[in-house]
Amino acid sequence: MGICEGRVVVVTGAGRGIGREHALEFARQGAKVVVNDLGAEVDGAGSSAGPAGEVVDLIRDRGGEAVADGEDVSDWDGARRLVDRAVDVFGDLHVLVNNAGILRDRMLVNMEEAEWDAVVKVHLKGTFAPSRWAASYWRERSKAGDANDARIINTSSSSGIYGNVGQTNYGAAKAGIASFTVIAAKELARYGITVNAIAPGARTRMTENLSGAASREVEPGEFDARAPDNIAPLVVWLGSEQAAGVTGRVFNVAGGRISVAEGWKAGPGFDKGARWDPEELGTVIPDLVAEAQPNADMRGAV
């Protein structure tokens, strides 16, 4: 008996990397899993049914229940069909994990419109569309008098909440997902739905070419702090009944470390009590900025 025994879970982008590990751990904890993956390359090109099917086979070989799904989560009707598939096959839906994503990194001055649009579509619309259809399903249940213990778990990024050079498209989408999480949590609480997000750090196809710790060789027997399976325990717990009291939060998670990301808040300020003249601000704004905490680095540290 696992902590998600009998729960029905959809994981998007679950054919490889972090999403794959989410699907495997949910199944190990007793969930029935819809393994969604378009099978595309890191930049979103192409598609293949192979990765999702391989994860399903592995879950079934281990005695679990799973079904593959190849819908494009950034497509409005595709997202609806994904949610419907979970209900049609397993009879219900309890957890939606929005994990699918692509990269098209480029410095702002070199970025093309298509590179911006593709990344924002997959990450931001690919989070919104499945969430919208899942929330509608749960709302209808609530209106019919049925109680929900439902979860939406989104995937943000340190690039989005702290910032990373060369990723204005990716970071903007991931920052949007963090805000989406906070707002959706407020809107959906009345229906028995919690909404949280993670900002994971792990070695995947999207990070394997980076320098430093992400690509460092791990010695035999050494804890691999960059392994993608380190992210799954938090996501699975957030998807369990135990997490009913946690909503609207973004969690940093990498290796064995978990922390709560604290969002934007009002820092030092000054109220004149009247309209400012622009010239006056030269004696005010520099002092406020000097008094304020600096922006966090990519680790979330100040």
Residues with a catalytic annotation lie at 157, 170, 174
Q: Using CA atoms of 263, 213, 106, 99 in order, give the dihedral in degrees to the nearest 10.
A: -60
Could you count the other beta carbons within 10 Å of the beta carbon of residue 242?
Answer: 11
Q: Residue 252's Cα: distance from chain center in Å? A: 11
Q: Element (H or E) spanning 52, and its range?
A: helix 50-61
Classified as helix, coil or strand, 185 is helix
Q: Using CA atoms of 34, 88, 79, 20 in order, give the dihedral in degrees to the nearest 10.
A: 0
Render 186-233 in DSSP notation, one character per residue: HHHGGGTEEEEEEEEE--STTTTTSSGGGG----TTS--TT-GGGTHH
Total number of residues shown for the chain: 302
**Eight-state DSSP code of residue 15:** S
List C-alpha distances in Å: 209 to 15, 42, 80, 114, 236: 20, 12, 34, 23, 28
Residue reference for tokens 């281990």: 62
CB of 291 within 8 A of CB of 266? no
- Rounded CA gap, 151 and 96, in Å? 6
CB of 55 within 8 A of CB of 219? no
- Rounded CA gap, 228 and 225, in Å? 9
Classified as helix, coil or strand, 11 is strand
CB of 20 within 8 A of CB of 99? no
